[in-house]
Chain A
Amino acid sequence: MSTTDVAAKKPNPVMVWLFSPMNRFVARRLLIATAVLLASTFLFFILAANAGDPLEDLRASNQRNREELIAARTAELNLDQPVVLRYFYWLFAALQGDLGNDYRTGQPVGEMIQQASGQTFKLIGFSSIAAIVLGVSIGIISALRQYTGFDYGVTVVNFLMYSLPSFWVAVLLKQWGAIGFNDFLADPTIPIVALILIGLVVGVVIGAAVGGKWRSRLIAGGIAGGVTIAVLETMVLTDWFTDPSLGPIVIAILGAGFAAIVTFLTAGFANKRALYATMTMAALGVVLYFVFDLAGIWLYTGGVAVFGQLVAFIVAGYVVGLLFGGPDKKVSALGAALTGGLVYGLLWLDNLMSYWLPYNQTSAINGRPIATVGSSTPELAGNTNYWVGVLDTYTHLILPIVAIILISLAGYTRYMRGSMLEVMNLDFIRTARAKGMPERTVVMRHGFRNALLPLATIIPLDLASLVGGAVITETVFGWNGMGRLFIEALREVNINVMMGYYLVIGIFLIVGNLVADLLYAVLDPRIRVEG
């Protein structure tokens, strides 16, 4: 037998990869999905075509050549032809990448979707991430403090938020968060009663979250409430709301706080090297505060420079962590890198704040910084200052972001709580505890990671469906995203736009679904993908 024969019998590695169970699975799923998409576009087209009368505005018009205009639009939209035939016209064009035009404006649907999805991503991207991070954190704490006041409190608030109508939340947010807050800024004083109330609320929440004996909870809550009142009153007295800043002392305190928390979550206080590493980064932050100020580095900053500086801080933290050495220096490095990023955030925020007063005093803002509509202030359009640009973006983004977080937070919190509880009651957690592992390691390394698994299947689907836009939030805040695009199209029975929207959303959902399945298979060794 010659060697060539052996080679011939060996299966071709490319073919093996091509027909691997994973690929067969993906191919099959895609095939089915395409068929589903095709069938559903047909169904949707029929529904969309019957959603109303695209000639309605012309029928009620008394323009002299009304008949000609009706004839023209009928010809343009092929309204004189059967719906099924129109679907195939649309399908063949779509297969060639042509989604048609908006009959009203003549704009290509592809371009409209591109523009609208850009707005939607800008609006929803940040708020989704924030909602996930917050929801996961609250869910974990809630699960660890199961059946405590905090847990019940979170549950009640969750269901409350879950059931809130989003248009109502958005309108109230604008009324209080924008109009009310702007009014407050005109004369930033907090009445004593309000101050005490805020302190009480903070105290109760913190006291409940801390857990443990009544005495320690009372102390924790009391301190938190008291500190809150003191800080707020100091802010009022120092005119902080008019001209905010952090300053070196606050940066030092917050930096040390971040360092402590990060160390606690990643390595535990027992790991002295890790603690020193993160604390070094916090100290570095204070030093650099003065250096940046003296060197005037911020003056020349733009978006790219800021990103570069952030990366530099993270890398520096990693290096510092490695330098402290020790058996698990990678853990220290991770913690220090994280702290570095957070400390840089503080420095950035401090400098951003220094632009608040001048921004607020421009005639375009006129002392009312928080906006209720749109994504930028028209009169500031000529502005090229990075910091003013950031401020203007976030004064416009803050309310829609808060609205979306409030509404979608509840879901993540509940999922995470349920998942965490399930995992924490499993045998391997008991085993880990029995081995004498510190509770931090049990929770963070064994509990948390496994509890995230179910979430991994929800998030890709959630993100995909978010592309569809938040119709109501977008409408109320005057953002022309995907949801708005669809609603407008529906109103005008603009079938090309509706179909374009549906196609894009459909594709995203299919891909999101597939990603969720694959992700689950990758993350959870118990699940195997089969072709």
Chain B
Amino acid sequence: MKLGNLGKGIAVAAAGALALSACTAQSEIVENTTISVAWNQPLYSFNSSTSSGNATANAVILYLTQQSFNYYNSDLELVDNEAFGTMELVSEEPQTVKYTVADDVTWSDGVAVDAVDLLLNWAALSGYYNEVTFADVDFDEETGAVTPQSDVIYFDSVVAGTAISDTEVPDVSDDMKEMDLTYTVQTIDWQLNMTGAGVPAHVVGQRALGIEDPEEAKTAVYDAIMNEDHDALVKIANVWNLDFDIVEMPAEEDLNLLVGNGAYEVTEFVQDEYITLVAREDYSAGPAPSVETITVRWIPDALAAVQALQNGEVDLIQPQATADILEALNAIDGVTVETNDEAVYEHIDLNMANGGPFDPATYGGDAETAKAVRQAFITGIDQQEIIDKLIAPLNPEAAPLQSQQFLASDSNYAAAVESNGSDQYGQGDLEGAKAILDAAGVEYPIDVNVLYALGNTRREQEFVIYQEQLAGVFNLIDGGNESWGSLLGTPEYDAWFFGWQSTSTSPLGNEGIFRSDGGSNFTGYANDTVDALYDELGSEFDVEAQVELQKQIDAELWADAYGITVFQFPGVTAHDSEMTGVDTSALSPTIFWNYWEWGIPAAE
């Protein structure tokens, strides 16, 4: 952990230095340095913005081969990368964002990165020109696969329908370095909606329109988008959707699919085995890496990764954490092991709309009584016992998660916990729970039908522990089910516990869960104050103010005894002790986030 903090310190310093010295960035590659990283799932698409290509397996490799306007550090702060370009909020009403690509930023084939790349990325992500929605797309009727569209424009964007879709056609400056994007609906996530250049526009143009010269191809893409050239856009969309899905080194004529603008370029790509990336000499678009070659080897089995590390075949691993894996790692000499929190957090939700014990309707519409029952429930839960029994063996530093809004590694977490009123809950205070129920005049024990993932060992153990913790006050009925996912929110269950996976730190990340009309609101929770706070948050651009609003929402949720958060999933990272600069972030790309700080002694 000491090493981790040191690493973070360097990261912040490096990020600061970077802003000052963006134009002086130069190659610092150390010859004959190779780092081999184990990852569990192979890359299968060089376009991670399509609905099928959107996966961590792709994102971690693309993080090395594509640069962007910003990235997350391990404190989950968004760091601007001005060496690649800038993203500025020019005006709030109407909301306009100016993207500027830094000078000298090039694709690995030498073509300049410019606003046309941004324009294509926008056109694809927003689905602005899409003539059909997903429901109407041509599917292969029997297999259900998306087939190339013959006469309609359809970009299969993973973010279709989010804020990026509420935009107008951007303005591109004459020198092709700047792009102004205007939103028709305000979005505070403007820094997250579109963070990079996506796939190279000239390659898409070459492949879709059959133009050989890269500059001409790029111009053709620009014209097609600006003039809404139907036939060209159909072809462009098909290339964007499907061409970049490759699982091995492409043939000579398709090598342009590998073109990237990041620190590394692909030199070897063997299906299901490994991908080799070599640092680019002509790279200035971000922090300069020092390791010459990074090989990512795909090893699905956690113990296999551990033994490969021990045998020197890989230098850095982040296997799925189990007690056995941790024990095996700790037994190896010359390996540094660190445990950490992951971005998945376990939580118990209480159903407030099923006529059960947590629903006001049960008490003749008496919301206060229902709330008291919920409070009693989360008062009786003992988070620490769960941590001690299930999580601490994997992450000795694990602590109960006390916020519905922030992950523990978030720099705002501590302040939020202080003010959200969560401290009285999760202590295993069964007497307190009884007192609350007595005061509310509710008889106990109360039957609670609990849904969880049957077949998942940790969750099965969790259920038994909760059952014992609450015995006498709440009688937990085992509602474990293998298809729990589709049963969330069904009236049969009074409570459920599972893990939410965070994919960004957007303040609005949990909006769909807690809003009364949210798409993931399974509990029937409805609080006008929370809805109003989310409305306010949705148009609040000041980061400080955003955090304040989130804290207020968090406090509301705890005050309403919405449910309880329990723990973050534990993770483990291990590396050859000769390798330096290893740090991990809770969010994707986890161990890869600071690859430019990695170092290893050069081979003779």
A contacts, CB < 8 Å to B: 52-53, 55-57, 59-69, 71-72, 75-78, 89-90, 92-93, 98-101, 103-107, 115, 119, 171, 174-175, 178-179, 182, 363-364, 366, 368, 370-376, 378-379, 381, 475-478, 480, 484, 488, 496
> Which of A107, A115, A175 gathers most chain B CB within 10 Å?
A107
Q: A66-B520, A372-B304, A480-B272 are in contact. List 7 more A-B contacts (CB 8 A).
A: A60-B498, A60-B500, A62-B520, A98-B142, A363-B604, A381-B268, A476-B304
Given contacts A106-B52, A379-B295, contact A65 B245 (CB under 8 A): no
Chain A residues in 8 Å Cβ range of B245: 105-107
Q: Which residue in chain A gives the minimum CB-CB distance to B312?
A: A368
> A476–B486 Cα gap in the complex (Å)?
33
When chains A and B are docked, how far (Å) is the Cα of A182 from the Cα of B312?
A: 10
Task: Decide yes or no whether B301 CB sits under 8 A from chain A.
Answer: yes
- Interfacial chain B residues near A374, Cβ < 8 Å: 273-274, 297, 299, 313
Complex formed: what's the CA distance from A53 to B162 in Å? 25
Which B residues are in CB contact (< 8 Å) with A476?
301, 303-304
Across the interface, do B512 and A366 meet the contact criterion of CB distance under 8 Å? no
User: Would A64 and B307 be within 8 Å (CB), given that A105-B52, A496-B143 are in contact?
Assistant: no
User: Is residue B310 contacting chain A, with contact meaning CB distance below 8 A?
Assistant: yes
Tell me whether B52 and A75 are in contact (CB under 8 A): no
The B297-325 residues at the A interface (CB cut-off 8 A) are: 297-301, 303-305, 307-308, 310-313
- CB-based A-B contact count at 8 angstroms: 199
Q: Does B28 contact A (CB under 8 A)?
A: no
B520 to A373, Cβ gap below 8 A?
Answer: no
Partner of A71 from B134, B304, B513 at Cβ < 8 Å: B134
Q: Is the CB of A475 within 8 A of B274?
A: no
Considering the chains assembled together, what is the distance between the CA atoms of A65 and B141 in angstroms? 25
Contacting pair A104 B499 (CB below 8 A)? no
Residues of the B chain whose Cβ atoms lie less than 8 Å from the Cβ of A72:
51, 134
Inter-subunit contact A368/B311 (CB<8 Å): yes
Q: Which of B473-494 contact A (CB under 8 A)?
A: 482-486, 488
A60 contacts B144, C-beta separation under 8 Å? no
Q: Which residue of B lies closest to A116 (CB)?
A: B272
CB neighbours (8 Å) of B270 from chain A are 376, 378, 381
With A107-B245, A175-B307 as contacts: A119 and B143 at CB distance below 8 Å = no
Q: Does B36 contact A (CB under 8 A)?
A: yes
Give the residues in chain B near A370, CB-CB below 8 Å: 311
B259 at the interface (CB under 8 A from A): no
A53, A62, A363, A488 — most chain B CB neighbours (10 Å): A62
Interface stretch (choices B13-21, B110-118, B202-210, B503-511)? B503-511
Asked if A373 and B503 make an inter-chain contact with CB atoms under 8 angstroms apart, the answer reads no
- A52→B486 CA distance, assembly (Å): 10
Contact present for A174 and B307 (CB under 8 Å): yes
Chain A residues whose C-beta falls within 8 Å of the C-beta of B144 in the assembled complex: 75-78, 89, 100, 103
Q: Which of A75, A115, A364 lies in contact with B272, CB distance below 8 A?
A: A115
Which residues of chain A are within 8 angstroms of B32 by Cβ–Cβ distance?
Answer: 363
Instruction: State whether the Cβ of B251 lies closer than 8 Å to any Cβ in chain A.
Output: no
**Interface status of B145 (Cβ within 8 A of chain A):** yes
- Selected contact of B304 from candidates A69, A77, A478, CB within 8 Å: A478
Cβ contact of A75, chosen from B135, B297, B513, B519, cutoff 8 A:
B135
Q: A106 and B143 in contact (CB under 8 A), knowing A65-B160, A66-B520, A371-B313?
A: no
A–B complex contacts, Cβ < 8 Å, 22 sampled: A53-B483, A53-B484, A53-B485, A65-B159, A75-B135, A76-B145, A93-B142, A101-B145, A103-B144, A105-B44, A106-B44, A106-B245, A171-B307, A178-B307, A179-B307, A364-B34, A366-B603, A379-B293, A475-B304, A478-B299, A478-B301, A496-B143
Chain A residue at smallest Cβ distance from B145:
A101
A contact residues around B508 at 8 Å (CB): 64
Question: Measured between alpha carbons, how far is A381 from B276 in the docked complex, in Å?
Answer: 10
A478 to B272, CA, bound (A): 9
Pick the contact of B519: A66, A371, A477, A488 (CB < 8 A). Answer: A66
Asked if B503 and A63 make an inter-chain contact with CB atoms under 8 angstroms apart, the answer reads yes
Q: Does B161 contact A (CB under 8 A)?
A: yes
B483 touches A68 (CB 8 A): no
- Residues of B whose CB lies within 8 Å of any CB of A are 32, 34, 36, 42, 44-45, 51-53, 55, 134-135, 139-146, 158-163, 242, 245, 247, 268, 270-274, 276, 293, 295, 297-301, 303-305, 307-308, 310-313, 344, 482-486, 488, 498-503, 506, 508-513, 519-520, 603-604
Chain A residues with CB below 8 A from B140, complex form: 93, 98, 100
A55 nearest CB neighbor, chain B only:
B485
Residues of A within 8 A of B51 (CB): 69, 72
Q: Is the CB of A62 within 8 A of B272?
A: no
Contact present for B300 and A59 (CB under 8 Å): no
Closest Cβ of chain A: how far from B294's Cβ, in Å? 10
Complex partner residue of A379 from B34, B42, B299, B503, CB under 8 angstroms: B34
Instruction: List the B side residues contacting A368 at CB < 8 Å.
Output: 311-313
Contacts of B310 in A (CB 8 A): 179
A107 contacts across to B, CB distance below 8 A: 44, 245, 247
Query: Does B506 contact A376, Cβ atoms closer than 8 Å?
Result: no
Chain B residues positioned under 8 Å from A178 (CB to CB): 307, 311
The distance from the CB of A396 to the nearest CB of chain B, in whole angstroms, is: 10
Residues of B within 8 A of A496 (CB): 143
Closest to B271 in A: A115
Task: Indicate if the CB atoms of A76 and B139 lie closer than 8 Å.
Answer: yes
Task: For A71, list chain B residues within 8 Å (CB).
Answer: 134-135
Residue of A nearest to B136 (CB): A75
Instruction: Kindly state the separation between the CA atoms of A220 and B230 in the bound complex, as whole angstroms.
Output: 87
A106 to B163, CA, bound (A): 26
> How far does the alpha carbon of A106 sit from the alpha carbon of B143 in the complex, in Å?
11
Chain B min CB distance to A229 (Å):
29
Contact check, B300 vs A484: say whether CB atoms are below 8 A apart: yes
* Most chain B beta-carbon contacts within 10 A, residue among A371, A374, A496: A374
**Which single residue of chain B is at the shortest CB-CB distance from A472?**
B301
A55 near B303 with CB under 8 A, answer no
Which residues of B have CB within 8 Å of A106? 44-45, 52-53, 145-146, 242, 245
Chain A residues lying within 8 Å of B273, measured Cβ to Cβ, are 374-376, 378, 480
Assess whether B482 is in contact with A64, with CB atoms less than 8 Å apart: no
Q: Is the CB of B145 within 8 A of A477?
A: no
Chain A residue numbers with a CB within 8 Å of B52 are 103-106
Nearest-CB distance from A112 to chain B (Å)? 9
Greatest chain A CB density within 10 A among B145, B300, B501 is at B145
- Taking a contact as CB atoms under 8 Å apart, the answer to whether B503 and A62 are in contact is yes
How far, in whole Å, are A373 and B305 apart by their CA atoms in the complex?
A: 8
CB pair A372 B311 closer than 8 Å:
yes
Contact A475:B512 (CB < 8 A) given known A65-B160, A366-B312: no
- Is there an interface contact between B307 and A378, defined as CB atoms closer than 8 Å? no
> Within the assembled complex, what's the spacing in Å between the Cα atoms of A71 and B488?
16
- Residues of chain A lying within 8 A (CB to CB) of residue B604: 363
- Interfacial chain A residues near B304, Cβ < 8 Å: 174, 372-373, 475-478
**Chain B minimum-CB-distance residue to A366:** B312
Do A372 and B506 have beta carbons less than 8 Å apart? no
Distance in Å: Cβ of B117 to nearest Cβ of chain A = 23
Q: Would you call B146 and A76 a contact (CB within 8 A)?
A: yes
Partner pick for B509 among A53, A62, A115, CB 8 A cutoff: A62
Give the contacting residue for B307; candidates A66, A77, A372; CB below 8 A: A372
Most buried by B among A77, A92, A480: A480
Give 9 closest A-B pairs by Cβ, nearest first.
A363-B603, A93-B142, A100-B143, A480-B272, A59-B485, A105-B44, A101-B145, A67-B519, A106-B52
Cα A209 to Cα B44 with chains together (Å): 54
Nearest Cβ in chain A — how far from B115, in angstroms?
26
Cα(A372)–Cα(B511), bound, Å: 46
Cβ contacts under 8 Å, A64 to chain B: 159, 162-163, 506, 508-509, 511-512
Residue of A nearest to B248 (CB): A115
Report the minimum CB–CB distance from B122 to chain A (whole Å). 17
Judge whether A60 and B499 touch: CB under 8 Å. yes
In the bound complex, do residue A171 and residue B512 qualify as a contact, i.e. CB atoms below 8 Å apart? Answer: no
Shortest B593–chain A CB gap in Å is 20
Q: Is the CB of B485 within 8 A of A66?
A: no
Q: How far is the CA of A55 from the CA of B312 in the complex (A)?
A: 38
